[in-house]
Structure 1
Amino acid sequence: MNSESAEIITAAVLVIGDEILSGRTKDQNIGHIAERLTEIGIDLREVRVVPDDEPVIVDALNALRSRYTYVFTTGGIGPTHDDITADAVAKAFGVGIDHDPRAVALLSEIFPAASLNEARMRMARLPDGSDLIVNTVSKAPGFRIGNVHVMAGVPKIMHAMLDEVLPTLRTGPKVLSETILANAKEGEIGTPLGDIQAAYPSASIGSYPFQNEAGYNTNIVVRSRDPEVLAQAASDVRSMLAAIWESRGQ
């Protein structure tokens, strides 16, 4: 099976938390998840950020899990009253939720029985039918149910949970990429770059302007799962740029 016909594995991220929407907390997880998924051949197609509002979480989760191969949620699985992600996931799947003996055992390893209070026990409440996601940082687990992986919002803990999850996922053909320095501004290359993109529908061609001490410039990034398509499209980009440079007398 070649890269054009191989199954494409897709994903979405659902970020949960009023603190993200208010700006109180700056998300540090989306980019990390996107990078790790790209490395193993999974396309991150959508990211949503929702408040700590159960109906909103349920609606978003049901929309995403029906559309993509995998959904990853971050946030809302701690011990406080607004940590409602587990309840929302249970409602989305139409299952019950209770203290999971496996999760309780993990919490018992770090909290003496006398201090394993109601708030901390909230972290052991998992939807029926869930599998645990190991948390090597603070023990309190995440969980997976169906195609949904529920992880912590704290970056260090989320990263550790993701490390546990990645080896369990189906993967597709990896996206290859090549970056070409344009030595031109976006306005100079916009039209011919669009023509090249139209000629290679299975590739993705993007332009990314930047400024440094030499002035304005642009990086062109060509992406494709097919190495031949990548090479041909990149060659056409270089030829286009050479024509622009020649017209300047360079």
Structure 2
Amino acid sequence: MTNITAAIIIIGNEILSGNTIDANTSFLAVHLNKLGIKVMEVRIIPDIHEEIVRHINEIRSKYNYIFTTGGIGPTHDDITALAIAKAFGVELELNEEALVYLKEIYDEWELTPPRLKMAYIPEGASLIPNVISKAPGFIIENVYVMAGIPKIMYAMFEAIKDDLMHGKEILSTTITVIVGESIIAEKLSSIQDMYPDVEIGSYPINTDNKWVTNIVLRATDANKLTHVSNKLRTLLDDFL
């Protein structure tokens, strides 16, 4: 089966400043892996029109899916929709369906220009429902544009996940050894060379001045994952 791939673009100065912790990347990576969609890269970029356009156009032809979060609200720095439209060479238009959603929570007099801004969607895009606050995300070709607020983004992803192409779920298992990774590096390399279709990563942790290493194995073939895991446990038995 051909790998199905994705990239994640997190848009927002608040993430880059460190004032807000990004919770969206881990959520998307975990849930995409469950669908058999392999996340190949993650980018965190500022609320700058030209940067959003550049990054979208750099990678939208490289992967099956691009997922963006952030920048689709009512404020002056919410410029993602406009930048996505520019990247695809289309105009923003008042989307009647999006307007209906907004009218479910706002009276006519409450639809100020900033709120109305959330109903402007790139031409040709379809909407991603938002059951939390109604203002929708959108899909244009293979680019899925969602909110930055985690609770809303999670709900948007739930609305679209069944429509995505699914691959084989990416399975993982973890082996913990009570030594630093430098001691086991050669053994890990030898196993990785023998089984290139099983990803092996090592992640050292220092707790109370003692080193342990978590070895994470990932593969789509459950039997092979079990086989390699057992082989590695045997090889590292002295350190378990």
- Asked if Structure 1 and Structure 2 have the same fold, meaning a TM-score greater than 0.5 normalized by the shorter chain, the answer is yes
Structural mapping, 1:119-158, within 5 Å: 119-158=114-153
The answer as to 2:65 corresponding to 1:70 is yes
* SS in structure 1 at match of 2:73: coil
1:165 is displaced (CA, Å) by: 1.2
1:25 paired residue among 12, 20, 24: 20
3-state SS of the aligned residue for 1:67? Answer: coil
1:88 aligns with 2:104: no
Aligned residue type for 1:58: V
* 1:3 alignment counterpart: none
Q: What is the deviation of 1:183?
A: 3.0
User: How big is the alpha-carbon RMSD for the aligned residues of Structure 1 and Structure 2?
Assistant: 1.6
Residue 229 of structure 1: CA displacement? 2.5
SS in 1 for 2:236: helix
Residue 228 (structure 2) aligns with: 233
Q: Deviations over 1:8-37 (max 9, x none)?
A: 111111111111111222211111111111
Scaled by the length of structure 1, the TM-score of the pair is: 0.91
Alignment of 1:107 onto 2:102? yes
Gaps of 5+ in 1: 1-5
Structure 2 residue aligned with 1:164: 159
Alpha-carbon distance between aligned partners in 1 of 2:21 and 2:224, rounded to the nearest angstrom: 38
CA distance in 2, matches of 1:86, 1:15: 14
Map 1:25-64 to 2 at 5 A. Answer: 25-64=20-59
Cα shift at 1:225? 1.4
Q: Secondary structure at the match of 2:160?
A: helix
**AA of the residue aligned to 2:170:** V
Select the structure of larger CA radius of gyration. 1
Percent identity between the two aligned chains: 46
1:213 deviation in Å?
5.9
Alignment partner of 1:216 out of 188, 205, 211:
211
Which secondary structure does the structure 2 equivalent of 1:216 belong to?
strand
Instruction: Determine helix, strand or coil for the equivalent of 1:66.
Output: coil
Instruction: Choose the corresponding residue for 2:184, options 151, 167, 189.
Output: 189
2:200 aligns with: 205
| C-alpha separation in 2, matches of 1:223 and 1:64 | 25
Residue segments in structure 2 that go unaligned for 5+ positions in a row: none
Secondary structure class of the residue paired with 1:78: coil
Partners of 2:217 and 2:17 lie apart in 1 by: 35
Q: How many residues align?
A: 240
